[in-house]
Structure 1
Amino acid sequence: MLTFILDNEDPWAMAKTTSCLGKTPCEIVPLKTEIAWRMQACLTHYREPFFLTFRAGDQIKPGFFQKMGEWIRDLSENCAGLMAGTKEGLLLPLVWRTKAVKSLSISKLDHFPFEHYALQDLQSRLSVRWRWKEVDSDHYLPNPVAPPKWMNRETEWQLTKPLLYTRPPAARMNGRPTVSIVICTYNDGGYLSWAIRSVWAQTNPDWELIVVNDGSTDQTREVLSSFQGEPRLTVIENGKNLGKAKSLNRALGAAKGEWLLELDADDWLTVDCVEQICTHASKRPHATLFYGNHHEWRERANKTLVYSGLRHNPSPINKEELLSTGLPLAPRCYNTSILRKMGGWLCSDPFEGRLYEDFQMLLRLEKQDKVHIPLALYHRRIRKNSITHREAEKYAIWKNWVKEKGSAMSEP
């Protein structure tokens, strides 16, 4: 029987699992990255009705396969498989129905930033159409070794689980959306699908999504093509790289929503972000900007993420503090009509709106009505190779330009 083992990069844990499976009728396939896609690729020519998954470090006792045969015999045709509990209190799929997994549409371009939750992710996708059966057996011994505390796995799971398991209400297809969510992306195709997925998971469906592909030369077009046919998605293609401000202005021209919410291609929204914005906007319809708090994640060299805490954004926003610290505010949701009256984002700075366009707009709105929502509504990824980090020395030049420009930058 085909048996996948999720490798957590611990050779001792992998050896422990393969050792206890060594004398069983298993064809072992270790998986590290692109787990869903590689699993489905291995299943292409697989003909048996079921297969197994373990995490490195899991073990089984003698008699496991006999017990598994009893479980399978009692499994109804509409069940995707069997789930077993772990030491962390999680339920993980253990036995999978091959037909169910093959029915999923999984692309190599799908980017999932938490590979150690890949099984939960697949199980969630299948749960839309299939049932699962929970089993409790002494024959299955989940990995007893907990990950290091610095990984913050308990918090990480609590923050990731809603995106995997939230079932959003049906889309509102008629009328004007309340929120236009805008993603401007340049060569961030490896991150883009997770950002888009966070939009699709929103508990309030009163939104449209506008993606501006700013002349990307990576797989961005292929990722976007996988979302073709989605009625609430508009894709704008820049023939060449124009920069963030010009891309935002193109999105502003196409936006139908009363509010414009920015989302960076390598970040993602909490599932209730749009819901909270709509609730507050109904009470403060003449506000200029809504902004909230955000969770921060540090990207390691191998692209994995480590949770580094909740960031509370200041209220009110202080111009001098904003300039001196370069403090990012996320999320930022603007009144669309006011943005248009202002002519959108300026492109007249020394870098033509390619850098610090977020600070620029916040400074121009200094005297306007800005509302802080005291909730975490956004997940921000910190990358060493991001534009902000690569171009940090240019901030002093831009800050001097702001000071020279003075009141001329302010709203009309």
Structure 2
Amino acid sequence: MTEVTVVITLYNKEKFIEDAIKSVLAQNVKNWHLLILDDASTDQSVKKVEPFLKHKNITLIQLKQNLGQTNLLNYALTLVETPYFLQLDADDWLPNHALKKLMEAAKKHSDAGMLYANHICYTYDEQDQLIEEKEIMLEQFKDRYQLLEKINEAMAPRFYWTEKLKEVGGWMAQTKGDMIVEDVQITLRLARLYPCVWINDFLYHRRKYTANQQKFDTTKSLRVAYRYHLFNQVLLEWGDEYVADWQQVNDHYYLKGLVPNSQKQTDTRYTIVIPNYNHADTILSAVKSALTQTLEPEEILVIDDASTDNSLKKLASIKSSKLKVIPLKKNEGISHLLNHALTHIKTPYFLQLDSDDWLNPQTAQRLVIPLSKQKDAAFAYGNHALWKEDNELKWQKVDTIEQPSFSTKYDWLLKLGYMVNPRCYRTSAVKKVGGWITNDPWQGRYFEDARMILRLISTYKWVHVNEFLHNVRVNPRSSGDKIKYYNSLRKDFYEKMLLEWGNHYKAVWKMASTGRIVLERLEKI
């Protein structure tokens, strides 16, 4: 079984590409695939590769247009089908035992996001004569902050888990800096979610020569400026606990160290709550979207409502200290589940995520931070996309729902159609209103979300973030089955709210073509 894909991005390396390929062929394991992507080379690089294509586990893909390093790596990521992904530069090479050692380590450190090791750097003069051979010893960084402070030497080799690369969205590829500092940006983005593990062995040979040294020197200003902005952004995404202490030298800023952020005024700790019942087919994508938030959750709390499928087995496959699964012995319904969750939440905020939906990576950051700053608000909400399964069992985006910025509590009654998603709550506010209602004939199984929102807006403000942050899977049959319950609950609850709000208005209802009753207008009493 092929376990690792060695990816070589190739552009005008005719002098070196053969050595790189031969080093893969010489590995003392054979469970590899070599994927070479040629970025429209203008020299003889491709001709040098062609004789090796007789090997069935070597693939060459030629591009007609030059895309650049990070775009090429992202393209490779769409092609790689193996669990592991090793990046090998076309002018470098591997020692014979590299893949064996790295794959052994990967199996021991399955919670890691990246493996790196020591390497030997060979420096050549203009006549291609070796003038220096230097061993580069790295270290195991104690945490991601020490990694950020000390990430000066090249981390080579870089051995990744393919799925974890996909979880963080691959390499950023928007700016020139993204292109030339691709190793640093992907390492720091993986480090937000996973440990980076050092293997104390020399597992890579790195070549320095006139052409690549000149390129390194000419891009120095861009690389230094890019690091300044990248590090500041990464620290913010890691929770804003530390700020970078920069030293200015001429027009450049160099990192001196990290200091605790004394200006951090708001507590942005939050929990993601995922109620689940028989969604084994989608629960993993929901949890993974929670794990890949740019603002990390303190905890991901899955409350399972006595599922009869293999949901719990699927959840057991996720190795994360942030995930806590609480299985109930009997099925109680969504409102009971959320009330169970409420007793376990230890953070000021929590974000509710259905187990068949998923979040965009920046959802929590976009909701929690503004909610934390508006002290009189009980919740923040955004916009969402609707997805349906097509005839080929693939999920397709079919609509986008942009919610209004409701101006008053009466505005909510009149305009609330699709439930607002995503929803991030202030924990104390939800507790203050008594959690979710469970004393109706259906024990809180229906219309629980709207009833919570309407009770909160009776007392508190709200925050609307006008961005698409959430993805909802549409199940037309399930929605249609619930109409008869929703109609009764909506009418009774809306009229109850109008009474509690002072009995200033009377609700006028009409029946929509879908069979749902709709609040047509409010008449002043």
Shift in Å, 1:358: 0.5
1:307 and 2:397 matched? yes
Other-structure match for 1:217 = 308
Q: 2:274 is matched with which residue: 155, 164, 183? A: 183
2 CA distance for matches of 1:299 and 1:181? Answer: 26
Shift in Å, 1:235: 1.1
**Are 2:333 and 2:444, in contact at CA under 8 Å, matched by a contact in 1?**
yes
Other-structure match for 1:381 = 473
Q: 1:219-298 residue pairs with structure 2 within 5 A? A: 219-228=310-319, 230-298=320-388
Shift in Å, 1:315: 1.1
Shift in Å, 1:177: 6.8
SS where residue 361 of structure 1 aligns?
A: helix
2 CA distance for matches of 1:408 and 1:347? Answer: 21
**Are 1:82 and 1:95, in contact at CA under 8 Å, matched by a contact in 2?**
no
Shift in Å, 1:408: 7.4
2 CA distance for matches of 1:282 and 1:258? Answer: 9
**Are 1:177 and 1:207, in contact at CA under 8 Å, matched by a contact in 2?**
no
1 CA distance for matches of 2:398 and 2:64? Answer: 25
**Are 1:83 and 1:93, in contact at CA under 8 Å, matched by a contact in 2?**
no
Shift in Å, 1:123: 4.4
**Structure 2: which amino acid aligns with 1:169?**
R
2 CA distance for matches of 1:305 and 1:99? Answer: 24
Q: 1:112-131 residue pairs with structure 2 within 5 A? A: 123=162, 125=164
Percent identity of equivalent pairs: 28
Distance change >3 Å, CA 187–CA 170, structure 1 → 2: closer
Instruction: List runs of 5+ in structure 1 lacking aligned partners.
Output: 3-45, 54-63, 106-120, 133-164
Q: Which is further off, 197-206 or 278-287?
A: 278-287
Distance change >3 Å, CA 407–CA 237, structure 1 → 2: farther
**Are 2:447 and 2:490, in contact at CA under 8 Å, matched by a contact in 1?**
no
Distance change >3 Å, CA 91–CA 324, structure 1 → 2: closer
1 CA distance for matches of 2:464 and 2:386? Answer: 18
2 CA distance for matches of 1:247 and 1:222? Answer: 19
Question: What RMSD, in angstroms, separates the aligned Cα atoms of the two structures?
Answer: 4.3
Shift in Å, 1:81: 8.0
2 CA distance for matches of 1:190 and 1:209? Answer: 18
Other-structure match for 2:436 = 345
Distance change >3 Å, CA 291–CA 49, structure 1 → 2: closer
Per-residue CA distance 1:134-157 (angstroms, 9 max, x = gap): xxxxxxxxxxxxxxxxxxxxxxxx
**Are 2:299 and 2:322, in contact at CA under 8 Å, matched by a contact in 1?**
yes
1 CA distance for matches of 2:31 and 2:61? Answer: 19
Distance change >3 Å, CA 376–CA 239, structure 1 → 2: same
Shift in Å, 1:98: 6.6
2 CA distance for matches of 1:399 and 1:195? Answer: 28
- Please state which structure has a larger fraction of its residues in strand: 2
SS where residue 402 of structure 1 aligns?
A: helix
Per-residue CA distance 1:311-342 (angstroms, 9 max, x = gap): 21121165576478642110111110111121
Shift in Å, 1:67: 4.5
Per-residue CA distance 1:82-132 (angstroms, 9 max, x = gap): 766599987246986978479588xxxxxxxxxxxxxxx98454689xx99
Other-structure match for 1:366 = 457
2 CA distance for matches of 1:187 and 1:201? Answer: 23
Q: Which is further off, 359-368 or 252-261?
A: 359-368
Q: 2:422 is matched with which residue: 328, 331, 338? A: 331
Shift in Å, 1:281: 2.6
**Structure 2: which amino acid aligns with 1:91?**
Y
Distance change >3 Å, CA 235–CA 98, structure 1 → 2: closer
Distance change >3 Å, CA 266–CA 97, structure 1 → 2: closer
Other-structure match for 2:33 = 50
Shift in Å, 1:286: 3.2
Distance change >3 Å, CA 240–CA 127, structure 1 → 2: closer
Shift in Å, 1:309: 3.4
1:91 and 2:80 matched? no
Distance change >3 Å, CA 294–CA 343, structure 1 → 2: same
2 CA distance for matches of 1:185 and 1:390? Answer: 19
1:169 and 2:212 matched? no
Q: Which TM-score applies when normalising by structure 2?
A: 0.49
1 CA distance for matches of 2:336 and 2:384? Answer: 26
Per-residue CA distance 1:168-202 (angstroms, 9 max, x = gap): 6258899x971111000100110000011111111
**Structure 2: which amino acid aligns with 1:50?**
H
Distance change >3 Å, CA 96–CA 256, structure 1 → 2: closer
Q: 1:98-177 residue pairs with structure 2 within 5 A? A: 100=84, 123=162, 125=164, 167=190, 169-170=192-193
Per-residue CA distance 1:183-227 (angstroms, 9 max, x = gap): 001001100000111111111114311000011000101011112
Other-structure match for 2:446 = 355
Instruction: List runs of 5+ in structure 2 lacking aligned partners.
Output: 3-28, 37-45, 86-98, 108-159, 172-187, 195-237, 242-266, 502-525
1:391 and 2:482 matched? yes
